[in-house]
Amino acid sequence: MPNRKCDRIPGFPCFFFLLTFFIAAAGLQAQDRIEWEAVEGAQYYRIEFRRDGTLVLETRSEEPSLPLFLPAGIYEFQVTVINSFGKTATQSDWSPLKISAPITPFIIDFSPREIHEGGESTFSSRISGFVQGPELSSTFALEDSEGNQIELDFQNPGLLPEEKNNNWNQITLELGRKAPGTGSWALILTNPDGRESRMDNALTVLERLRPKIRKISPKEMEAGSNSSITMVEITGMEDGAVIEINGPSDIPATLLKKNEDGVLEYSLNLENTVPGWYSMVVTNPSGGFDVREKAFEVLPPPPTPEEIAAATALDIDKKEPRPIPEYPDSFVFGWHFAFPMDSSKEYYENSYAGFSLAYSRNFSNDLIRRIPVFNGLSWDITYSYTNIETTFPITIIHLNRSNFILGLSYVTPFNFPVNLLLKAGLGMGFSIYTSPEHDRDEWLGPFSLRDLDSLDFISRFGAGVRYDINPRWYINLSCDFTATYYLSRTVWSVQPVLQGGRRW
């Protein structure tokens, strides 16, 4: 503002009076103030306001500022500097001034209205009556039930085309370092003049739950089924939680039922599923998650009967059995001597020849005929008779022993005239005692001969050689060891055996 009267007051400095009100010719609210730079030597300032050329207010201020309390409207104002002599030191030109009515803030909406603790940090809100200036702007805050507030930063993109006719703003609000805790929060919009708008329950912060996979049943499922029912028990699961199944292949899953206890029933399609271990992951919308490694195992599909037969077959089952010999049966007649062993010599002093008759047959079982080492194995039934003379102080007694033995014989299958022969068998033996001098019922001191008769277990083991004369006839030469098991003792004897056999 140029000084137009300083030439009438000698010695008063000439200067331009600078108004610092930031937008005098634009709109001001009634609660704003006008300010100017202080003038050295000023006693006070006189401020005049006129409207449509008519003076409506004249006031004074000792400070280089003045609060506005005029009604809304279009005015002109002039500032005059009065010095200590009560004279006009300088005077500004008339400047336009528009005073608008106070702006009333209002929150139209706010989103999202519900978040989990530690979740969203950016929000969107539609508001009206928003003030933004280089020095003072509207502020935003969240307030809980105890009056604790958290300030929000905002980004104002300005009025969008669809907002200009409605006079509202779409703004983005962001949390700072401090995040709201669980509970209900109000949103408060406050303008520089102190007017505010409040939206109660604008934001609800839910507790951030951590889910936990407690149980999965069954733990094993067979591939190939298009609907395998699986029960999953999860605690701490929020609405909208996502359940994933990870493994060698994708498994389509359909939720059939969900109980209030957190038990979910799924139908899993395992038709094209790769066997192996699968893990399960549950993730809450708030970010909490749980992972169950090796949650369940998909087993290979059950084998077909053909696959079972192939899998259970032994390598030996794949071999062709040996042909049944041309002459599998044979009859054997033999002659042997019996010689008592060890303590048995006290009872049996002399030995006489005995004979044996046997029937033998090669095994025709397919399994045995597939095993090469069993080539030459046969079974036999043998009857043998042995007479042994015993000498007691009072008389000579003969032991007549008949044995019936079921046994096995093995002949090495080499293509030689002479092969190794092994024999073993178990059976029953009948012992009958006679004397050339006494009757069997005659009392001979403490016993009769009939009292000595017995039925006993018999075992036989032997080894020798077999000589094949031709495909039908052969000779066995062996040494057998036989044992007779009495109640009080076991009697062993060694028997050289000479046998001849014929196959048919």
Q: 218 preceded by cis ω (within 30°)? A: yes
Q: Choose among 284, 498, 483: nearest CA to 403.
A: 483
How much is the average pLDDT of 251-268?
A: 87
How much is the average pLDDT of 116-128?
A: 84
What pLDDT, on the 0 to 100 scale, is given for residue 2? 36
158 has pLDDT over 70: no
Q: What angle do CA 410, 411, 415 make, to 5 degrees?
A: 155
What pLDDT, on the 0 to 100 scale, is given for residue 391? 63
Token pair in block for residue 453: 């008769």
What pLDDT, on the 0 to 100 scale, is given for residue 349? 54
Per domain, the residue ranges of the chain are 6-100, 106-206, 212-299, 329-503
Q: How far is CA 342 from CA 159, 260, 480, 494, in A?
A: 125, 87, 16, 11
pLDDT band at 78 (very low <50, low <70, confident <90, very high): very high
Q: Is 162 exposed, middle or buried (0-12, 13-18, 19+ CB in 10 A)?
A: exposed
453 has pLDDT over 90: no
Q: What angle do CA 456, 459, 460 make, to 5 degrees?
A: 140
Fold for the domain defined by 329-503: Porin (2.40.160)
Asked if 192 and 137 touch (Cβ cutoff 8 Å), the reply is yes
pLDDT band at 165 (very low <50, low <70, confident <90, very high): very low
For 357-393, write each residue's pLDDT tens digit.
999 998 888 777 777 778 888 999 999 998 877 766 6
pLDDT band at 23 (very low <50, low <70, confident <90, very high): very low
Distance separating alpha carbons of residues 250 and 318, to the nearest angstrom: 39
Q: How far is CA 282 from CA 241, 296, 461, in A?
A: 7, 15, 73
For 331-365, write each residue's pLDDT tens digit.
999 999 888 776 555 555 555 678 999 999 988 88
CATH 2.60.40.10 fits 212-299, yes or no: yes
**264 three-class SS:** strand
The two domains 106-206 and 329-503 share their CATH topology (first three levels equal)? no
DSSP string, 223-261: TT-S-EEEEEEEESPPTT-EEEEESSS---EEEEEE-TT
17 has pLDDT over 60: no
450 has pLDDT over 70: yes
- Of 80-94, 110-124, 335-349, 452-466, the least confident: 335-349
31 has pLDDT over 70: no
Asked if 252 and 270 touch (Cβ cutoff 8 Å), the reply is no
How much is the average pLDDT of 208-228?
A: 88
**3 three-class SS:** coil
Fold for the domain defined by 106-206: Immunoglobulin-like (2.60.40)
What pLDDT, on the 0 to 100 scale, is given for residue 484? 87
6-100 — its CATH code?
2.60.40.10
**For residue 233, what are the β-bridge partners?**
215, 263
Q: How far is CA 83 from CA 12, 34, 61, 104, 191, in A?
A: 9, 21, 13, 41, 38
160 has pLDDT over 70: no
Token pair in block for residue 358: 């046997």
Residues 6+ apart with CB under 8 A from 244: 280, 281, 282, 283
175 has pLDDT over 70: yes
What pLDDT, on the 0 to 100 scale, is given for residue 312? 66
Distance separating alpha carbons of residues 488 and 307, to the nearest angstrom: 58
